[in-house]
Structure 1
Amino acid sequence: MESTVKAADASAIPFDSLSQKVFLDLWKTYDILRGIENECLADFGISAQQYNVLRILESNLPAPVPTMELSRQMISKAPDITRMLDRLESRKWVRRTRPRANRRIVEASITPQGLKLVNEMHDAILQMHQRQVGHLKKREKEQLIDLLKMVRKPHRSASEGWLS
């Protein structure tokens, strides 16, 4: 069993294990980076999941994406992809269609307005990522990517999208 680990701050909060400290450090880091992301996206009136959907649809142009595939490719799983697409469609950023060959399938594609929004957001997104991790050197970013992949590996299946 791992020994108790003390935090480096003045309060010296004990942790039950080194694994717990790793988890809590990841959670705190996520919370900080997510706050920066929320600030950026709020300027455009869009959520992180909605932006993720638009980017997936943009990357698949000109082909539409079946909603089940769209859900699979998302970084953070949306509990109700249908409702999210309803909101995106009401803002004219996404269009849904049913292919003639199989009317049970619903496909989504990004509209010209949605593409315009993604393009308008481009520089702000780059600045956001710079603010989040720009202080790290290239090699440190590569090492962090490798470590995070190692953490995810035993918990993800190969069918869970590009960020396995």
Structure 2
Amino acid sequence: MKIEEEIIQPKFRNYHQKAVINLIFTSNWIGNLQQQFLKPFGITIQQFNILRILRGQHPRSISASAIKMRMMDKNSDVSRLLDRLEAKELVERKICPSDKRAADVLITDKGLGLLADVDKDQQAFDHVIALSDDEAQLLSDLLDKCRG
């Protein structure tokens, strides 16, 4: 469905305004779909992002500040998210030997298992945007260019 129909707005100032509004709308649309996808696994999009970062580091640990730098949502409260993941036994924190005020974070076996379960269904979610592989690559390139 065209953005004009989705938001019931027939006119835009120019194509750039239309593109930005379409990007924001589509981002929220995909985010809502991803939130619904992750709900049965008992984690949020931000928690999923942290777990994926930790899996990429595994078996090495990473600091909370390094996690924050790598997150897609830079406004996330990483400490609060880590508290929730730790309560679910998906991550563990250990005091950093070089800085007693900081903690090193590791993904647990339970966290790795949860991500393995998500991975089984992830491929279907990856195709939520109805694009060919070539179109998806072009879109990705254009989005990179937007942030250029």
Same fold judged by TM-score > 0.5?
yes
Could you say if the C-alpha distance between residues 33 and 12 of structure 1 is closer, same or farther in structure 2, counting changes exceeding 3 Å? closer
Tell me how far apart the structure 2 counterparts of residues 129 and 8 of structure 1 sit (CA, whole Å).
Answer: 25
Runs of 4+ aligned residues of structure 1 deviating over 2 Å after TM superposition are none
**Correspondence for 1:57:** 54
Tell me how far apart the structure 2 counterparts of residues 59 and 36 of structure 1 sit (CA, whole Å).
Answer: 24
Once the two structures are TM-superposed, the CA of residue 146 in structure 1 deviates from its matched residue by 0.6
Could you say if the C-alpha distance between residues 54 and 8 of structure 1 is closer, same or farther in structure 2, counting changes exceeding 3 Å? closer
Tell me how far apart the structure 1 counterparts of residues 47 and 79 of structure 2 sit (CA, whole Å).
Answer: 12
**Correspondence for 1:26:** 23
Q: Is the 8 A contact 1:89 1:95 kept in 2?
A: yes
1:149 aligned partner, one-letter code: D
Once the two structures are TM-superposed, the CA of residue 20 in structure 1 deviates from its matched residue by 1.2
Identify unmatched segments of 5+ residues in structure 1. 1-6, 154-164
TM-score (norm 2): 0.90
Tell me how far apart the structure 1 counterparts of residues 73 and 27 of structure 2 sit (CA, whole Å).
Answer: 13
Tell me how far apart the structure 1 counterparts of residues 114 and 96 of structure 2 sit (CA, whole Å).
Answer: 26
Provide the alpha-carbon RMSD of the alignment: 1.8
Tell me how far apart the structure 1 counterparts of residues 12 and 75 of structure 2 sit (CA, whole Å).
Answer: 32
Count of residue correspondences: 145
**Correspondence for 2:33:** 36
Once the two structures are TM-superposed, the CA of residue 17 in structure 1 deviates from its matched residue by 2.4
Instruction: Please show how residues 6-155 of structure 1 align to structure 2 within 5 Å.
Output: 9=5, 13-130=10-127, 132-133=128-129, 135-153=130-148
Q: Is the 8 A contact 1:49 1:76 kept in 2?
A: yes
Structure (1/2) with the larger helix percentage: 2
* Structure possessing the higher radius of gyration over alpha carbons: 1
SS of alignment partner, residue 101 of structure 2: coil
Instruction: Tell me whether 94-103 or 108-117 shows the greater mean CA deviation.
Output: 94-103
Tell me how far apart the structure 1 counterparts of residues 32 and 65 of structure 2 sit (CA, whole Å).
Answer: 29
TM-score (norm 1): 0.82
Could you say if the C-alpha distance between residues 82 and 22 of structure 1 is closer, same or farther in structure 2, counting changes exceeding 3 Å? same
**Correspondence for 1:156:** none
Q: Is the 8 A contact 1:49 1:78 kept in 2?
A: no
Could you say if the C-alpha distance between residues 8 and 75 of structure 1 is closer, same or farther in structure 2, counting changes exceeding 3 Å? closer
